[in-house]
C-alpha cells in the first residue's frame, strides 16, 4: 500500500492536507504555502529509462510520485497526455550547452506547462465531486493568458482574470480577450497591484464563500509539480551516462520555475549546480550573499517584465527546502542553512543593459535567438562558467531555460537585432480575432457586485 504524500504549510501553523485539498485551496489557512512533507526519490535506473519516453510520459512518471494513492494512474496519464500536446525543443548552442525552449504551448510562455496540468487536475476533482469552482486571477500579462487558455473550455470551472489595461501589451491582452466561453476577462484602469488587491480581498470575503473561489497563481502547489518535469526531460534527453551531472540556469521572478528544478534535484536528478538568474530586482541574490532579506518595494520595471518581482512568493518554499521558516511577509522565523544554499546555488542579478547586450551577443556568436527573460538566464549561466573555470569545460552539460517565445517581444528584438522573429503557430491569426472583455471601476464593491451578479 502506497502512502500518499502529505502537504504541510510553510508557516507551520496549519494542518497537513492531501493533494486534493492543497490544490483546491491554493493557500494554507495560516497564510503559508503548501509543500510536500516528504520529497519522493526516483531511482536512478528509472531516470535513465526516461530517455525513451515522450514528454507526457515523463510528466506522468514524475508527478505520479506525488499523486499515487490520490489519482489513479490511468487518469493521471490521460491528464498529462491531454496537457502536453506540443514540442519541447532542446536547442544545441555549443559544446554541451543547450537552451530548453519552453515556449511552444498555446500562449508561448513556460507558464503553459503548469497552468495546463493544474487546470486538468482541478477538473478531475470537480468532475468526481460534481461541484464547481470559480478561479480568480490577477495578471500583469503572462499568467492571465496562460491561465485563461489552460482553463478555456474545461467543465465545472469558471475563470475570471483581472488585468491592468494600460500595463499589458496588445498581444498579451488579445491572448486573453479573444477566448470567450467560461473565461471572463476584466480590465481595470489601475496597476497590477490593484488587481491583485481586489482578488485577495475577494478570497478573504466571507460573503463570497458560496462562490467557491480558488486561485491559480504560483502559490498553488498544483503549479509547482508540473514544473519539476522538464528538468527530468532535459536531463533524460541530453545526459551521456550515470556519472553526468547537469548545470541548470533559470531566469527567475516569483521562483515557481526554480522551485520545480530544486525539487527535481531533491528527487534524485543528477545536478551539479543551479544558477538562479534575476533581473535588477536583486533581493534574492542579495539575500544569498548577505544572509539578510530585504524585499524591493515597489519592484523595479525591467525588460524581463514577468520577472519584476520584489518579494517572490515562492521564496518561503525555497527557505523551507533548506530547513528555514519564512512567512508571507518575508520575515525569517528560522534561518535556513545558508552554507548549503551557497554550495548548491549560484545566483546573480543581471541588469537591463546586460540583458540587451546578451541578446545581441548570443545571436552574433551562436545564432541563438533569445528574448529578455531567456537572455537573463543565459547571461547567468555564462557568468557562472566564467567565475568557475573548473566547470567551464566542453564536457560539462548545461541547460539554460528560455521561458517565452521571442515573438512575444517584437519591439525589443527588432531594436537590438534588426530582425522580426517569426510568430509561433499559437500566435498566428491573433490580430484578426474579435476581442471581448468587461471594464470595471477600481473599487472592491464594484468587483464584488460583479461577481455576485454573474456567478450566483
Ligand X SMILES: *Cc1c(COP(=O)(O)O)cnc(C)c1O
CB of 309 to ligand X, least distance (A): 7
C-beta closer to ligand X: residue 158 or 283: 283
Reported in sequence order, the residue ranges of 219-292 that DSSP labels E, i.e. its strands, are 246-251, 271-278
**Angstrom distance (rounded) from CA 185 to CA 173:** 9
Grid-cell match 460573503, residue found:
207
Nearer CB in complex with ligand X: 109/137: 109
Label residue 296 exposed, middle or buried (CB < 10 Å: 0-12, 13-18, 19+): middle
Interface residue with ligand X among 122, 373, 412, 451 (CB under 6 A) is: 373
Q: Which of residues 128-157 bind ligand X (CB under 6 A)?
A: 142
At its nearest, how many Å lie between ligand X and the CB of residue 330? 16
Instruction: Compare residues 80 and 403 and give the one whose CB is closer to ligand X.
Output: 403
3-class DSSP state of 393: coil
Closest CB 101 distance from ligand X, rounded Å: 12
Report the residue number, 19 or 255, with the smaller CB distance to ligand X.
255
Assess 215 for contact with ligand X (CB under 6 A): no
Beta strands in 244-382 (DSSP E): 246-251, 271-278, 325-326, 332-334, 345-349
Site string for ligand X, 70-109 (x = CB under 6 A): ---------------------------------------x
Among 65, 111, 273, 317, binds ligand X (CB under 6 A): 111
What does the alpha-carbon distance between residue 215 and residue 135 come to, in Å, rounded to a whole number? Answer: 6
Cell numbers placing 408 = 512575444
> Between 255 and 447, whose beta carbon lies closer to ligand X?
255
Residues 143 and 161: their CA atoms lie apart, in Å, by 9
Q: What is the C-alpha separation between 251 and 258, in angstroms, rounded? A: 8
Interface with ligand X (CB under 6 A), residue from 154, 306, 368, 381: 306
- Residues within window 386-425 making contact with ligand X, judged by CB under 6 A: 403-404
Strand partners, 327: none
Residues 220-259 that bind ligand X (CB under 6 A): 251-258
Farthest CA pair distance, the chain: 63
Site for ligand X in 166-195 (CB under 6 A): none
Count of residues that bind ligand X according to CB under 6 A: 17
Spatial separation of the C-alpha atoms in residues 219 and 312, rounded to whole Å? 10
Residues that bind ligand X (CB under 6 A): 109, 111, 142, 218, 251-258, 306-307, 373, 403-404
Amino acid at each position: 500500500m502506497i502512502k500518499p504524500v502529505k502537504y504541510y504549510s510553510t508557516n507551520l501553523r496549519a494542518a497537513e492536507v492531501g493533494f486534493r485539498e492543497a490544490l483546491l485551496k491554493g493557500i494554507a489557512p495560516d497564510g503559508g504555502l503548501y509543500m510536500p512533507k516528504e520529497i519522493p526519490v526516483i531511482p536512478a535506473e528509472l531516470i535513465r529509462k526516461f530517455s525513451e519516453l515522450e514528454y507526457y510520459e515523463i510528466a506522468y512518471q514524475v508527478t505520479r510520485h506525488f499523486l499515487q494513492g490520490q489519482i489513479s494512474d490511468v487518469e493521471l496519464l490521460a491528464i498529462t497526455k491531454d496537457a502536453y500536446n506540443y514540442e519541447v525543443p532542446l536547442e544545441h548552442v555549443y559544446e554541451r550547452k543547450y537552451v530548453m525552449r519552453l515556449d511552444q504551448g498555446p500562449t508561448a510562455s513556460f507558464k503553459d506547462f503548469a497552468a495546463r496540468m493544474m487546470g486538468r487536475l482541478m477538473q478531475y476533482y470537480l468532475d468526481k465531486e460534481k461541484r464547481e469552482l470559480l478561479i480568480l486571477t490577477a495578471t500583469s500579462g503572462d499568467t492571465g493568458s496562460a491561465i485563461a487558455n489552460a482553463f478555456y473550455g474545461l467543465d465545472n470551472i469558471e475563470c475570471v482574470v483581472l488585468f491592468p489595461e494600460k500595463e499589458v501589451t496588445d498581444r498579451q491582452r488579445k491572448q486573453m480577450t479573444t477566448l470567450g466561453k467560461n473565461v471572463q476577462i476584466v480590465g481595470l484602469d489601475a496597476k497590477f497591484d490593484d488587481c491583485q488587491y481586489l482578488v485577495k480581498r475577494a478570497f478573504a470575503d466571507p460573503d463570497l464563500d458560496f462562490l467557491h473561489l480558488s486561485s491559480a497563481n504560483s502559490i498553488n502547489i498544483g503549479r509547482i509539480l508540473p514544473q519539476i518535469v522538464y528538468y527530468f526531460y532535459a536531463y533524460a534527453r541530453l545526459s551521456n551516462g550515470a556519472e553526468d551531472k547537469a548545470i541548470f540556469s533559470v531566469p527567475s521572478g516569483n521562483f515557481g520555475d526554480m522551485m520545480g528544478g530544486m525539487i527535481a534535484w531533491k528527487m534524485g536528478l543528477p545536478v551539479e549546480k543551479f544558477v538562479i538568474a534575476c533581473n535588477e530586482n536583486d533581493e534574492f541574490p542579495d539575500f544569498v550573499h548577505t544572509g539578510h532579506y530585504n524585499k524591493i518595494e515597489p519592484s523595479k520595471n525591467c525588460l524581463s517584465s514577468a520577472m519584476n518581482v520584489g518579494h517572490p512568493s515562492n521564496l518561503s518554499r525555497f527557505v523551507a527546502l533548506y530547513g528555514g521558516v519564512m512567512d508571507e511577509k518575508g520575515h525569517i522565523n528560522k534561518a535556513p542553512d545558508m552554507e548549503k544554499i551557497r554550495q548548491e546555488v549560484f545566483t546573480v542579478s543581471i541588469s537591463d543593459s546586460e540583458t540587451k547586450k546578451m541578446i545581441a551577443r548570443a545571436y552574433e556568436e551562436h545564432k541563438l535567438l533569445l528574448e529578455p527573460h531567456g537572455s537573463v538566464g543565459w547571461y547567468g549561466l555564462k557568468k557562472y562558467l566564467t567565475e568557475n573555470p573548473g566547470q567551464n569545460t566542453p564536457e560539462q552539460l548545461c541547460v539554460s531555460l528560455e521561458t517565452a517565445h521571442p515573438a512575444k517581444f517584437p519591439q525589443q528584438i527588432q531594436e537590438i537585432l534588426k530582425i522580426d522573429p517569426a510568430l509561433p503557430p499559437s500566435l498566428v491569426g491573433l490580430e484578426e480575432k474579435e476581442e471581448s472583455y468587461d471594464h470595471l471601476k477600481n473599487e472592491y464593491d464594484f468587483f464584488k457586485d460583479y461577481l455576485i451578479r454573474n456567478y450566483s
